[in-house]
Amino acid sequence: MDYIINISKFILQGSKITLSLYVITMIFSIPIGIIGAIGKISRFKVLRHIISFYTWLLRGTPLMLQLFFVYYGLGVWGFKMTSFQAACFTFVLNYGAYFVEIFRGGIQSIDKGQYEAAHCLGLTYKQTMTRIVIPQAVKRVLPPLSNEAITLVKDTALVASITLADVTRNAKQVVSRDFNTSAYLLAAIFYLAFTTVVVWVFNKIENKYGFYN
């Protein structure tokens, strides 16, 4: 039992990295998604192409490869970052790309009658987007958004590959040191608890938006 408590403490030290990476990624990638989605449906062709290229590139290559590239590759070119900065940078860009496409789908699913009504009432395009379209789109994207939020919990484990001492890496160290796999079980329990909280939070938000159909 002492052994379990001891290694639990060590593994949980890694949760600082896991949790802060998670929170930073969510905070920055969702606004990127909303702004990118608006850009992608705008009438500026060049902007649309730039955003399409961004989502094509970031969704079309492995996240782990992107991590290696940002941490080791960019370093060679003089963009030196700590491994945690590199992880945040990569995760925000990668998840931002997915969120762009999710929000674009949500915004485009809003009936064109909503735009027409807003136009006839004299609302500007910006007012139409911020007051009429995006609030409705947010409700529609909550299910795919919560999927991504759950995937992100587990994707954070990839940072172990660029030497960050997160929950997964600490667990692996314990197993290699002690030849005892119970550390893996503890890590699994941590991730399960984490995703449970995420699911609970998203259910709360969905209920909050359940006030209209």
Partner 1 sequence: MEMIRATNICKNFDTLEVLKNIDFSISQGEVVSVIGPSGSGKSTLLRCFHQLESIHEGTIEVEGKVIVAEGSQKNNYTISAEEKRQGVLKMGMVFQDFNLFPHKTVLENIIEAPIIVLHKTREEAVKKAEELLDRVGLLYKRDVYPSQLSGGQKQRIAIARALALDPDIMLFDEPTSSLDPELVGEVLKVIKDLAEEKRTMIIVTHEMAFAQEVSDRVVFMDEGRILEEGPPEKIFKNPDNERMQTFLGKII
Interface positions with partner 1 (CB under 8 A): 111, 113-114, 116-117, 119-124, 127, 131-132, 135-136, 139, 211-213
Cα dihedral sign for 47, 52, 53, 55? positive
Helix (H, G, I), strand (E, B) or coil at 206: helix
CB of 80 to partner 1, least distance (A): 47
Burial class of residue 136, CB neighbours in 10 A (0-12, 13-18, 19+): middle
Of residues 48 and 139, the one with the C-beta less far from partner 1 = 139
Of residues 108 and 114, the one with the C-beta less far from partner 1 = 114
Of residues 5 and 120, the one with the C-beta less far from partner 1 = 120
CB of 76 to partner 1, least distance (A): 50
Of residues 139 and 172, the one with the C-beta less far from partner 1 = 139
Interacting residues of 41 by C-beta distance below 8 A, sequence separation 6+: 48, 104, 107, 108
Cα dihedral sign for 131, 132, 134, 139? positive
Alpha-carbon distance of 118 to 24, in angstroms, equals: 35
CB of 194 to partner 1, least distance (A): 31
CB of 206 to partner 1, least distance (A): 14
Alpha-carbon distance of 76 to 71, in angstroms, equals: 9
CB of 139 to partner 1, least distance (A): 7
Report CA 81 to chain centroid distance, whole Å. Answer: 20
Of residues 136 and 195, the one with the C-beta less far from partner 1 = 136
